[in-house]
Amino acid sequence: MELLQYEFITAPKGSYLNRLGELVKKIRYYRMNVPIEGFRAALPGLKLVEQELQEFDDSIGLGKRNYIDEIMEELQQEAEVEEKLMADIVRFSKTIVNTIFHEEFVADEFAFDFRIKEAVKWLEFYGYKNEQVIDEKLNVVKDIFRSVCSMHNIIFIDSTLT
């Protein structure tokens, strides 16, 4: 479905594309920011929007689509990208840090944020959480983060220099 395409489209209010964009935004919001009980409470309203979209599809001869299910599936795929990114960062870092420095890698020692906004995914790397030191280990870990981001087509932003 390519959710991000619908989230940032400009369409006349009440049109098919406008309603679809609203549905995508609402489901993303509820999935990411609201406990499951809140999502369940909002579901009847979301189902009404889905029904409007299905009626539009029917009026032009298209088959029935389960919009909510499609959107939820794509959001799950986005979450899996972040999980895979973090799993690769931890796996690579454990191996390389242990090999080079004979130490265990602890991800919680490092500050970083993974973000998605307007179809752009990026990871901002800040360095050590508890100290403002730039040492050889930090540079190696930063290079690992940068490499894994590149593998996953995610922009890497180095904020250790600021």
Ramachandran area for residue 28 (φ above 0: left; ψ -120 to 50: alpha; else beta): alpha
Q: Rounded to 5 degrees, what are φ and ψ at 73?
A: -65, -45
pLDDT band with cut points at 50, 70 and 90 for residue 154? very high
Give me the residue spans of the domains in the chain: 3-65, 77-158
Tokens of 79: 């979450």
Tokens of 44: 């009847």
pLDDT band with cut points at 50, 70 and 90 for residue 72? very high
Segments in the chain forming alpha helices (H) = 3-7, 16-33, 36-59, 67-101, 136-151
Determine the pLDDT at residue 10: 87
